[in-house]
Amino acid sequence: MNLKNLRKDPKSLFYLFLEAYSVRFKPKKVPMLPTILQIEPTINCNLRCKMCDQPIWNRKARDMEFENFKKILDQFPNARKLNLQGMGEPLLNKDIFKMIRYSRSKKIFTWIITNGMLLNENNIENLLNSKPNQIFISLDAADKKVYESIRTGSSYEKVIENIKNLAERAEHTQIIINSTLTTDNFNQIPKLLELLQTLNIKKINIQGIHTWGKKQWDYMKEKTLKSKYSEIKKELEDYKQKAKSLNIDLSYSMIEPTKNNCNWLWNSCYITVDGFITPCCIHGSDPRKFSFGNLLKTNIKKIWNNKAYQSLRTHLKSENPPAFCIGCPELKNSC
């Protein structure tokens, strides 16, 4: 929502003030419902990516039904942003286009993140007709061998062709490349920038990896860019300058050392395919590990400030955050 619209809508301005207050002071009880949502359309996926927790899950793969999606979204009257992506490929849910349209009908800023393999002509048309604000496509290397070694089951040529076709037709939707980088593929950034210039893509977001809060992923710690930040800081700045010279906006997240920077418990919700609210999309995305309740059974108004939420907010603000948060890149001294 832009400033002109805010001036015409004092109620929205008031909720933005409450959100800013909640994020700044992080109270145990939050005076407004979440405004930023991430809803998981499916936990089915057509790839088996090296850094993803999904392939080792034993949760029953399923899609969110459209009526359940509506029931959930309708509980958030002040929602302003929605990411339709979780532990799966959103284009595998046959109702994804209806979900996007329904969200946009509520004037919610909406985007999806896709691995790009299913962006055929029919899906591109349906996707653009549903009018998401942004489409993120995962592309972690400009080199075929490196890319396909990360995204197991993918085809480099197919994804590049799909990105090209989408970019040529996306007049009113921003196309953004999402690159998940480790110390193994960090050197791909210059080639990625050159590739994006040929595809006429104007924005790339680089993000670091994390361990999903599980010991079986601890071996990845030494590969995180955050653990090597002091060594790569100069290169990152050089890459930003190179991107600028190519008229590409390069941003990055989960790479720089931070203070305890997590705002999820104060303004955001991660909602799983089966309706559970979990702490976040990073270490807290698995409902078997932790859940505040289920929105298909209990309204958000009864969940948002329940004892579990209040307890976790207090815990997260302390010097001893919850065990599953340890190692999260949003926390100070975590890698």
Give the DSSP per-residue string, 68-125.
HHHHHHTT-TT--EEE--BSB-GGGSTTHHHHHHHHHHTT-EEEEEE-STT--HHHHH
- pLDDT interval class at 198 (50, 70, 90): very high
pLDDT value at position 262? 87
Strands 293-294 and 36-39: unpaired
- For residue range 129-144, list pLDDT tens digits in order: 999 999 999 999 999 9
pLDDT value at position 256? 78
Write down the pTM of the prediction.
0.92
Which residues, 6 or more positions from 64, have their beta carbon under 8 angstroms from its beta carbon?
39, 40, 41, 42, 93, 95, 273, 274
The predicted model gives 59-73 an average pLDDT of 91
- pLDDT interval class at 319 (50, 70, 90): confident
| φ, ψ dihedrals at 153, nearest 5° | 100, 0
pLDDT value at position 271? 96
Checking if the pLDDT of 55 tops 60, the result is no
The predicted model gives 11-15 an average pLDDT of 81
- pLDDT interval class at 212 (50, 70, 90): low
The predicted model gives 264-277 an average pLDDT of 95
- For residue range 74-128, list pLDDT tens digits in order: 999 999 999 999 989 999 999 999 999 999 999 999 999 999 999 999 999 999 9
